[in-house]
Amino acid sequence: MTLEIAVLLASGFVAVAMGGLVLTASPGRVASVLCGSALALLGLLQLGFARALFAFEWGGRNTWFELCLVFSIPVSLVWVLLSASLSRTRHLGQLRGWRVYVLAQVALSVAAIALAIATPLIEAGPPGKPPIEVPLRPAGLAIAAVLLLNMVVLTANFESTYLALPRRTRHRLAPALAGIVLCAGYYVYLLGWGLWHRHVDTSDLGISGIPVAILSVLLATAMIRGRVGEITLPEPRKPLYRTTSLLLPALTLALVYGVLRLTDATGWSLARAGFTLLSAGAGLGIAALLVSNRLQRRIWGVLQPYLYRSRVRRGDLWVNLQRDLEGAHTVEEWKSVVPPCVRDLAGVRPVTLFLPDAGGRVFAAVSSTLDPPPAERVRPEDPLARELRRARKPLFLRGRTDDLEYIPIYVENGAQLRACDAASAVPLLSDRELLGFLLCGRPIDPEESTINVLPILEFLAQGLAPRLEILILRERVGQPNPASGAPLDMPRPRS
């Protein structure tokens, strides 16, 4: 038994076991049934490919490999169905446009079976050990192209679901999404390589067992412990073309294409060509990082949790925030307490609070540490409010002319920023809407920088927003003032 066969067998058994566990232990809904079935079918496919590699010892036409290639289409189709139905519907009949895609894939599966009967999908080989390369005939290449399309679609679908979930529940799907991206990304590479070279590398096929095993464990954990099958979307999914899961396969295929073209043109080895392209890409990436403010912010968003958030003393901040807000039992009391509370805890000044007016037509400055408080207003359609809703995190407002991403904010909302002496904007968010926001000045300590206090402001906002939401709901339903009763329950911000 070769190493490739052993890895495929192990991953196959893991996937089948995880699929059975999901079917028995996960809540019994459509998503759970589809997830368990998808994992079990993926495990059977891995076992089939292990048997197909073993069958190469007899030489001739390898029908096991061809059957596994054909079987890959309905397996990938079940995964597409899972990605389309997860957190979206309880009935497959509500999938609407996806039914057309499914019917088309079913037709392609039937056509693949007919092709496998009429003509070989791979070249026959001599008897002996499994070959390093399995040549694909035109029919086999067509099936590989269909599989590549399904990999891209299902990954974009899962990411679209993740982006549409409330922020407080995204962590439940995050491990499964990581496994799906890892596994689908590897198969995009494997299929792209096969389409370009017109053959499948058996060592690469054997390595696929590692991402399959990781996916099986992560997805089963999310379905059982995270109860992902019970999550429903509060808002429509993002269109697939707005997901990075369409960008990543395109970049992967472009990189593979560039490496192969470079090896064909220069005669270099694969390692040398890959290293050359990576070096060129690193140089271009550094140049883009120096020029692009948008890219700098994206990189900063990734690095910030590791550089600064670990310095935030969440326990002390939480205790002090609870102490300062414990006497605020109405929205009026809450909004008068917030600016000095944020000023003292975050060490920034001034701090101005904006909340919607009575008609919800504009955000008005309702309290501030400035004396007199500014009488500024921001419309919901202004660039500042739109960017706060989109980013869902504090904005670092440099005010520089080369900050191209935020120029609309500086132009249309510059008067409000100057009146509040703002260096940052902090959104107060519920799952679906912007409840209000804070315009905060620079740190009181001259040795501190605004960018260092953004994690503190974000933590405080995550504690302030739930309290505001509860107070608003109390006033809407006319619940009595609990000033003399028990304190309001306030969810603790995420660590």
In sequence order, what DSSP letters do the residues of 15-49 get, joined into one string? HHHHHHHHHHHS-SSHHHHHHHHHHHHHHHHHHHH
C-alpha to C-alpha distance for 365 and 457, rounded to whole angstroms: 18
The amino acid that residue 403 corresponds to is: D
Alpha carbons within 13 angstroms on the beta-carbon side of residue 136 total 22
Residue 475 and residue 488 in contact, taking contact as beta carbons nearer than 8 Å: no
Q: How many other CB atoms sit within 10 Å of the CB of residue 54?
A: 17
Closest CA to 483 of 367, 345, 327: 327
The burial of 273, by beta-carbon neighbours within 10 Å (0-12 exposed, 13-18 middle, 19 or more buried), is given as buried
**Homologous superfamily of the 315-477 domain (CATH):** GAF domain (3.30.450.40)
State the 10-residue block means of pLDDT for the chain, 495 residues long.
87 94 80 90 94 82 88 92 74 63 87 87 75 86 91 86 78 89 88 86 90 94 83 62 65 71 77 78 76 67 60 77 85 91 91 89 92 90 90 80 77 91 91 86 85 86 88 75 49 53
Closest CA to 236 of 34, 96, 360: 96
CATH number of the structural domain 3-242:
1.20.1070
C-alpha to C-alpha distance for 269 and 34, rounded to whole angstroms: 43
What is residue 445's three-state secondary structure?
A: coil
Closest CA to 180 of 142, 219, 141: 219
Q: How many other CB atoms sit within 10 Å of the CB of residue 373?
A: 17
* Strand (E) or helix (H) holding 377: strand 377-378
C-alpha to C-alpha distance for 222 and 241, rounded to whole angstroms: 26
What is residue 4's three-state secondary structure?
A: helix
The amino acid that residue 149 corresponds to is: L
Residues 6+ apart with CB under 8 A from 478: none
Residue 188 and residue 252 in contact, taking contact as beta carbons nearer than 8 Å: yes
Helix 270-291 to helix 293-307 angle (10° resolution) is 100
Closest CA to 232 of 91, 441, 102: 91
Residue 442 structure tokens: 């620079």
Closest CA to 32 of 40, 17, 41, 22: 22
Predicted pLDDT of residue 480: 52
Predicted pLDDT of residue 231: 72
Q: What beta strand segments (E) does 202-265 contain? A: none
Phi, psi angles (nearest 5°) of residue 366: -105, -20
Q: What is the DSSP letter of 278?
A: H
Query: Assign residue 134 a region: left if phi > 0, alpha if psi is -120 to 50, beta otherwise?
Result: beta
Closest CA to 339 of 422, 434, 432, 226: 422
Closest CA to 147 of 75, 45, 67: 75
Q: What is the DSSP letter of 125?
A: B
Residue owning tokens 């740190």 = 443
C-alpha to C-alpha distance for 164 and 182, rounded to whole angstroms: 21
Predicted pLDDT of residue 495: 45
**What is the end-to-end Cα distance of the chain in Å, rounded?**
48
Predicted pLDDT of residue 20: 93
Task: Give alpha helix (H) positions in 165-201.
Answer: 170-197
The amino acid that residue 265 corresponds to is: A
The burial of 162, by beta-carbon neighbours within 10 Å (0-12 exposed, 13-18 middle, 19 or more buried), is given as buried
Per domain, the residue ranges of the chain are 3-242, 315-477
363-368 and 377-378 as β-strands: parallel, antiparallel, unpaired? antiparallel
Helix 450-477 to helix 293-307 angle (10° resolution) is 80
C-alpha to C-alpha distance for 124 and 8, rounded to whole angstroms: 22
